[in-house]
Amino acid sequence: MTRRGEFELIAEVFRPLAEGDPLAFDLGDDAALVPVPPGNHLVVTTDAMAAGVHFTADTAAVDVGRKLLRVNLSDLAAMGAEPLAYTLTVALPRDLPDEWVEGFAQGLRADQTRYRVHLIGGDTIAAADLVLSMTMLGRVERDSELRRGGAQPGDTLYVSGTIGDAGIGLRATRGELPDLDPDARAFFLDRLLHPSPRLRLGRALVAVASAAIDVSDGLLADLGHLCEQSGVAATIRLDDVPISPHAAELGGDGMDRLSSGEDYELLFTAPTQQRDAIAGVAGRLGIAITAIGAIAEGVGVRVVDADGNAIAVERGGYTHF
Ligand code: ADP
Ligand code: MG
């Protein structure tokens, strides 16, 4: 096992990720500069991942890097923002092999090229546990940001993509689904490890949606957050919640999907007259967008079956404490 020192790590592993952004000064200065176009706000979001909580020893370092970048980008997508740059704080156990950090950086490199962002700074410390914290910076035109608080009674509730795949992937990694065929397993693991931040969708929704949130904790939990911020109630039609063909094959309890997290799809609301505009966005971007319910006056989230009868809601989403 080799172990570089702090400054070797920064110079050899992280500095290459700053190449291409001249205002990162090759990670050689005390801080970086981020120009923000006139008429825009800087958008700031942080997400951290800890070994044993967000990933296990089996998770490849390259996938940890990719996921950390993507979940941060997903928060920008949910604000209707465009990424600018990111910073990274790594707390590394002293016995963590260099190869792990190199693999992690490889994952960052692959996806920062794909999403056109660069690393511009951070901090590197030793700690008892492996913790990786990223701060993503973005921009959005002033007063155009998507917020959780804008949903109005009468709005339609939409979700992008399919719901529940990452949760099935998580169960597969825990050995709970030994009979999955290899194709399905690969699909679910891909959905778990490489979520697609809906950046282009978020940008397109700026002029269309009344409220938005990304689905990280589970559809029910995240819709609960949106409703709370908006001061409204919501009804979900369970049968309309979109699921992938692989998930459909598995069958099972539809309510599970509503509380399974980490899909990183966008959940959003829009006035009914935006229906055609939303269909247009879906077609133009090649992203499935499905109407799954409606917003009403009141509080709380209701789930109904095909006949409109209420289904009891027991499970919440993931919480840390
Ligand atoms: P200081 O002690 O002044 O905070 P550091 O030695 O911690 O400086 O960092 C030196 C430079 O390296 C800074 O530009 C910092 O942003 C960058 N840096 C340190 N760790 C990381 C990291 N994990 N990723 C990216 N940049 C980093
Ligand atoms: Mg420092």
CA separation for the pair 178, 195 (Å, rounded): 23
Residue 103's pLDDT is what? 98
Residue 249's pLDDT is what? 94
CA separation for the pair 54, 170 (Å, rounded): 10
Residue 303 phi, psi (nearest 5): -120, 135
CA of 70 to the centre of ligand 2 (A): 24
Are 80 and 203 in contact by the 8 Å Cβ rule? The answer is yes
Residue 254's pLDDT is what? 81
Residue 318's pLDDT is what? 66
pTM of the shown model? 0.95
Domains annotated for the chain, with CATH where assigned, are 6-141 (3.30.1330.10), 156-304 (3.90.650.10)
Are 301 and 269 in contact by the 8 Å Cβ rule? The answer is no
Q: Which of 90, 119, 124, 130 to mutate to test the pocket of ligand 1 (most atoms within 8 A of CB)?
A: 124
CA of 121 to the centre of ligand 1 (A): 6
CA of 66 to the centre of ligand 2 (A): 23
Alpha-carbon Rg for the chain, nearest whole angstrom, is 20
Are 237 and 243 in contact by the 8 Å Cβ rule? The answer is no
Q: Which of 8, 30, 69, 123 to mutate to test the pocket of ligand 1 (most atoms within 8 A of CB)?
A: 123
The burial of 26, by beta-carbon neighbours within 10 Å (0-12 exposed, 13-18 middle, 19 or more buried), is given as middle
Residue minimizing CA distance to atom 7 of ligand 1:
123
Residue 2's pLDDT is what? 61
Nearest-5° Cα angle at 196, 102 to 235? 140
The dihedral through the CA atoms of 101, 121, 116, 210 has a sign that is positive
Name 131's bridge partners.
50, 91
Name 42's bridge partners.
139
Which atom of ligand 1 lies at the shortest distance from residue 89's CA?
A: 23
Q: What is the pLDDT along the chain (321 residues), one digit of tens a residue?
A: 467 888 999 999 999 999 999 999 999 999 999 999 999 999 999 999 999 999 998 999 999 999 999 999 999 999 999 999 999 999 999 999 999 999 999 999 999 999 999 999 999 999 999 999 999 999 999 999 999 999 999 999 999 999 999 999 999 999 999 999 999 999 999 999 999 999 999 999 999 999 999 999 999 999 999 999 999 999 999 999 999 999 999 987 788 899 989 999 999 999 999 999 999 999 999 999 999 999 999 999 999 999 999 998 875 566 777
Are 257 and 241 in contact by the 8 Å Cβ rule? The answer is yes
Give the number of C-alpha atoms closer than 13 A to the C-alpha of residue 199, restricted to the C-beta side.
Answer: 20
Runs of H (alpha helix) within the chain: 6-8, 61-79, 98-115, 165-173, 182-193, 199-205, 219-230, 245-250, 254-259, 275-285
Residue minimizing CA distance to atom 18 of ligand 1:
122
CA of 79 to the centre of ligand 1 (A): 28
Strand 156-160 with 266-270, pairing: antiparallel
Residue 251's pLDDT is what? 86
pLDDT tens-digit map of 166-211: 999 999 999 999 999 999 999 999 999 999 999 999 999 999 999 9
